[in-house]
A and B are shown apart, each in its own frame.
Chain A
């Protein structure tokens, strides 16, 4: 296994619980990821995947549970805390300010400033051109607000923002949802490259084949609960499907009614 030599997981979320009013969106779930590992997070819409990772990215408060980074307990109360631990997130909603251009979005909250403390738009645009040149060479609309971009272009801005700042832990919530096949392949290559660099990745996806291709392990959620975590090499796509739909780990008896 890739993580055989690491003493601690890079991130461990232990016994996380989040409820909204009466709904238990995340019900005592534990997941972890090791350096250089990709862990897939699967489940139907409303299973609680986004809520779970938003606890890690500081967007939601948890009602119970603990988070460990390299074996040490950490407190993450807001997105700033998460960023301070080099946790970067590509949100399902992309979380872009539509009225601002790509560079302003990429650097939002972390602007490059000149010695007088004023934001340096030209420097930020230059950096944005560099990273977009690597991620999406077709991207040309640097002067337009991101509302003028296509879904794929917007997604590439969100991806660029997550990888620009030396992430150690990367959360990708359905990063290829708005992408065409060519761009999806580019994201797959990017994930492999980041994995090689030793980054730990949580990848939320609807596409079981993506998960089988890219992930080392997969955790499946249903109705806020963790069905189980499996090594991707040990399971077939049918096994994963039955975990998602029936909520059963492979090998467990299917109860017929």
Chain B
């Protein structure tokens, strides 16, 4: 019995480490569900979890590259705060003077400016780390202090509000979701894309005469992927909007207020996370840049000897981290609808923890994007779950800290056994 099960799992060629993480997540969800009398695994809570995870998840994908190249970025929380503050000021105090309030271009200009700042600041840090050889720990620790200070300066500590209403959609409030129909459409497109990719990959492997996975394994994997996608859409489409929000939305559109329940659908920030995760996975696996990131992390000297410009690579990795931090700032500030001086505080630790729990090795060279997403989800589940159960805030910190150390220990033990 266990033998056949083992064979079955081996045939799927799945990453056993990832299976362990999914197992941990499932246990976590089931326990919280028990302790909250079934309030944890509900469409409402899963929707909230997905939105709360988004900002950290976006940054965690970039932190994977940073840690894989044997660096660290402690500045992301502060940089998120600074960029959030700059974007808030731009859309609330500056752009309306030229374009008028709620102009449809405001959110676009704001985001472009925010990403530009993220890229410039990130590249500057990367330049100091790569070319001046100052350790990333120090450079970004300096950044942590500088950007938080700079954020305060932008408004001398005042909160900026209310943010542009188009911009706020990106935070995933009642209006900031795809709605039922679009969510299904996205789910179906994702399903088709997944199937097409599996078929193409199999065909190419076959054309090179490589050994193929057995067909049953392909079908099982495909089935799991499709079930996950459509299951997620179903859950998001089972969480009804509050009556007040429905009235507000339909009145704004000038349409008749419906009598049936209107569902949320997938939140826009979650769509952003998926799009970024796909792009980052393609960068990691299918581009030269991604290949060089991993090669440099595995053996910097070998990378240099292979003609890779590892200094410039460092600049690019940190610039990318800056861009993702800006996108995370969009999500975080849009969700709150305002930008306060503490936006992003301690996020660097959540992001690093997500990447590390997700299997990114601090020694460099190893890490995956999907692992970081799972790590971010585990972290957020832990925190939300404890809050729902009613665990005191100080105890929450203790538990999260403990889990982080435990996760890294388990990872090290696992790798030692797997001989990696």
Contacts and interface: CB of A to CB of B under 8 A. Distances in A.
A122 B288 contact: no
A59 B208 contact: no
Nearest to B207: A122
B208 A99 contact: no
Contacts of A100: 291, 294-295, 298
Contact of A96 (B286, B294, B299, B308): B299
| A contact residues, range | 20 to 34
Interface stretch (A45-53, A106-114, A204-212, A236-244): A106-114
Interface string A135-150: 0000000000101100
Given A104-B295, A113-B288, A122-B205, A97 B307 contact: no
Contacts of A83: 307
Interface string A187-212: 00000000000000000000000000
Contacts of B282: 118
Contact of A119 (B209, B210, B287): B287
Dominant SS at the B interface?
helix
A96 B301 CA distance: 9
Contacts of B288: 111, 113, 117, 119
Interface in A61-91: 78-80, 83, 89, 91
A97 B305 contact: no
B251 interface: no
Contacts of B226: none
Contacts of A91: 305
A80 B365 contact: no
Given A118-B286, A118-B287, A95 B301 contact: yes
A108 B179 CA distance: 46
A254 B305 CA distance: 41
B349 interface: no
B414 to A, nearest CB: 15
B133 interface: no
Nearest to B299: A97
A123 B209 CA distance: 11
Given A59-B305, A98-B299, A147-B420, 13 more contacts: A57-B305, A59-B304, A79-B305, A97-B303, A108-B291, A108-B295, A108-B306, A118-B282, A119-B288, A119-B291, A122-B204, A123-B208, A125-B208
Interface of A: 57, 59, 78-80, 83, 89, 91, 93-100, 104-105, 108-111, 113, 117-119, 122-123, 125-126, 145, 147-148
18 contacts: A57-B305, A59-B305, A94-B302, A96-B302, A97-B294, A97-B298, A97-B303, A99-B365, A100-B291, A108-B306, A109-B306, A111-B288, A117-B287, A119-B286, A119-B287, A123-B208, A148-B419, A148-B420
